[in-house]
């Protein structure tokens, strides 16, 4: 089965499937849709063995616009590898040029809604390692999420208790540059969170139940 047929059309925004098909068809590249991972949205992998194809993995819980942007992000990594620039910086000039062209092509096909375009066009001027590194773009994209659990940590007040996946409880303290400093209630250790990390705000009663 070729890479194109491994991406069901339902994972992509309206009008994006023909574009993605045209981009993937000429290449010996596999695309694998996998279960959600908390540490990353996707990755590009060179061939594991001789005779095997390079492949991209993408989380299955991304909304359609995030899925397309993430796919193009990883496709740009494939282009850098294909060009033989194995020692290029992961998100250096070569990758940025490829990603910028891929994204501009998608924008020109009128695939993205007007609400996303202003932040998307700013993003591709100097693309970052991930779309979630660009907090304004990530917020615009999150509007289209089907899973709307949790609250951005940046949207809760200082001093608020919250819980993260895995059950650990923290207290939000203050913003330090572009990160949010928080204290782990149990260990008293300090941690820095991305402002768009999603958490579950806790009330006093919930805190008492968590630590009887």
73 & 178 share domain = no
**Residue 176, domain extent:** 151-210
> pLDDT per residue over 97-120, tens digit each?
999 999 999 999 999 999 999 999
Judgement on whether residues 177 and 114 belong to the same structural domain of the protein: no
Would you say residue 62 has pLDDT above 80?
yes
Same domain, residue pair 56 and 8? yes
CATH number (domain holding residue 204):
2.30.30
- DSSP run (H or E) holding 38: none
CA-wise closest residue to 171 among 196, 180, 179 = 180
Lowest mean pLDDT among 30-44, 129-143, 150-164: 129-143
Share above pLDDT 70 across residues of the chain, in percent, rounded to a whole number: 89
Last residue of a domain, one of 95, 123, 142: 142
Within this chain, do residues 119 and 15 fall inside the same structural domain, yes or no?
yes
> Same domain for 42 and 107?
yes
Do residues 114 and 194 both lie within one domain?
no
Both 110 and 19 in one domain: the answer is: yes
How far is the CA of 63 from the CAs of 3, 9, 38, 133, 159, in angstroms? 20, 13, 15, 17, 32
Confidence label for 190 from pLDDT (cuts 50, 70 and 90): very high
Tally the domains of the chain: 2
Domain-ending residue, one of 87, 122, 142: 142
pTM: 0.78
Identify the pLDDT of residue 198: 84
Least confident of 44-48, 161-165, 198-202, 204-208: 204-208
Most confident of 130-139, 147-156, 172-181: 172-181
What is the per-residue pLDDT for 85?
73
Residue 169 · residue 202 · CB < 8 Å: yes
DSSP state of 131: G
Residue 18 and residue 61 share a domain: yes
Angle at 32 between CA 31 and CA 38, to 5 degrees: 125
Looking at the structure, tell me whether residues 65 and 134 fall in a common domain. yes
Quick one: 95 and 33 in the same domain? yes
């Amino acid at each position: 089965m070729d890479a194109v047929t491994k991406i069901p059309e339902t994972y992509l925004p309206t009008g994006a499937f023909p574009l993605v098909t045209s981009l993937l068809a000429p290449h010996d590249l596999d695309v694998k849709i996998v279960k959600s991972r908390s540490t990353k949205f996707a990755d590009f992998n060179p061939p594991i063995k001789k005779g095997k194809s390079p492949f991209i993995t993408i989380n299955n819980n991304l909304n359609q616009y995030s899925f397309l942007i993430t796919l193009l992000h990883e496709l740009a990594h494939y282009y850098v590898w294909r060009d033989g620039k194995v020692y290029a910086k992961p998100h250096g000039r070569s990758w940025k040029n490829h990603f910028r062209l891929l994204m501009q092509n998608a924008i020109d096909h009128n695939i993205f809604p007007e609400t996303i375009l202003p932040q998307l066009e700013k993003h591709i001027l100097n693309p970052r390692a991930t779309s979630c590194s660009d907090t304004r773009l990530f917020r615009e994209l999150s509007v289209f999420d089907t899973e709307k659990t949790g609250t951005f940590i940046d949207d809760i007040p200082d001093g608020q208790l919250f819980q993260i996946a895995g059950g650990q409880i923290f207290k939000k303290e203050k913003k330090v540059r572009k990160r949010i400093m928080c204290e782990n209630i149990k260990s008293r250790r300090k941690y820095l969170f991305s402002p768009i990390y999603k958490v579950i705000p806790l009330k006093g009663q919930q805190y008492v139940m968590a630590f009887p």
